[in-house]
Amino acid sequence: MLFKQQALLRQKLFVLGSLAIGSLLYLVARVGSLDRLQPLCPIDGRFGPRGQDEIPLRALQFKRGLLHEFRKGNATKEQIRLHNLVQQLPKAIIIGVRKGGTRALLEMLNLHPAVVKASQEIHFFDNDENYAKGIEWYRKKMPFSYPHQITIEKSPAYFITEEVPERIYKMNSSIKLLIIVREPTTRAISDYTQVLEGKERKNKTYYKFEKLAIDPNTCEVNTKYKAVRTSIYTKHLERWLKYFPIEQFHIVDGDRLITEPLPELQLVEKFLNLPPRISQYNLYFNATRGFYCLRFNIVFNKCLAGSKGRIHPEVDTSVITKLHKFFHPFNQKFYQITGRTFNWP
């Protein structure tokens, strides 16, 4: 009899202990999500007086729950009105460059509670068919957000498309523009590698990089090859400067964002007039993937797609040397215009 009573007591204690641990884990997870959604400290001239434009605590599932439903089109107009959500035109755009790290930059900026990202590349300003649909079509492609938050989109084709600067200027002449760059030769090879992988998936053959990057008739760098043209950053930037002052651009070091992302993100926070919220806690190195992943809170982590960090094919060293020499004067001019110097060859 005594043995049965002891066994029953142990069973009750086990159940109570399990409930206590479960409750504790729930509270820890809730605190983690609260940390992501805490109201921002107001900033003079941006967020207004305390009590205005703050994120209500009833919307704790905003980023990871309700917003997901809104994006799928499952939210009612009443839900949207209740949560004071809007679809805003972007106040900042990552305009390029392709294979510079635009996706990584966008995802990392999304760690900030005042930033809301457009998940897909919209291609509004570089696509004539989309542009003809009008600015309201563009707005409706934006994610739902609170009025005080900044919506950011990225479409790296914007940087090299001639019509885009004027089109963006007509939408918002004071918009902030982010350009993320890598060492030009490395970027060109990365560009080639992505195209090559796509060809291989379709069982198609493709030229070697050397054959595309060097004109066989002149043995000089082939400036008609798009991967090379894109890496002539100063040529494209000069076209943008006809519409926007250099102060509206921020240059992000894409190579540093891979190896040491936090300082680069802090510079972007400052450029966007955001309170510092992204910390080392939000970034952790994944040795298996070979790059940094994102930590939003204690229960939600995210790594970039497996297609990131592709291994580049070997390229003839003489071709690399020729490309370095070709890009060098353009790089020097880029440093001079932007006020930011990189250790490129």
Is 73 marked as binding a ligand?
Answer: no
Residue 240 phi/psi, 5-degree rounding, is: -70, -35
The sheet carrying 283-286 orders its strands as 283-286, 291-295, 301-302
Is 190 marked as binding a ligand?
Answer: yes
Decide the pairing of beta strands 92-96 and 150-154: parallel
Is 182 marked as binding a ligand?
Answer: yes
CA distance 95 to 160: 9
CA distance 113 to 38: 8
Is 133 marked as binding a ligand?
Answer: no
Is 98 marked as binding a ligand?
Answer: no
Residues known to be catalytic: 99
CB contact set of 79 (below 8 Å; sequence gap of 6+):
66, 70
Return the structure tokens found at 20.
């206590």
Is 99 marked as binding a ligand?
Answer: yes
Is 306 marked as binding a ligand?
Answer: no
Q: Would you say 172 and 89 are in contact if contact means Cβ atoms under 8 Å apart?
A: yes
Is 309 marked as binding a ligand?
Answer: yes
Is 100 marked as binding a ligand?
Answer: yes
Residue positions in the annotated binding site? 99-103, 182, 190, 292, 308-312
Residue positions in the annotated binding site for 3'-phosphoadenylyl sulfate? 99-103, 182, 190, 292, 308-312
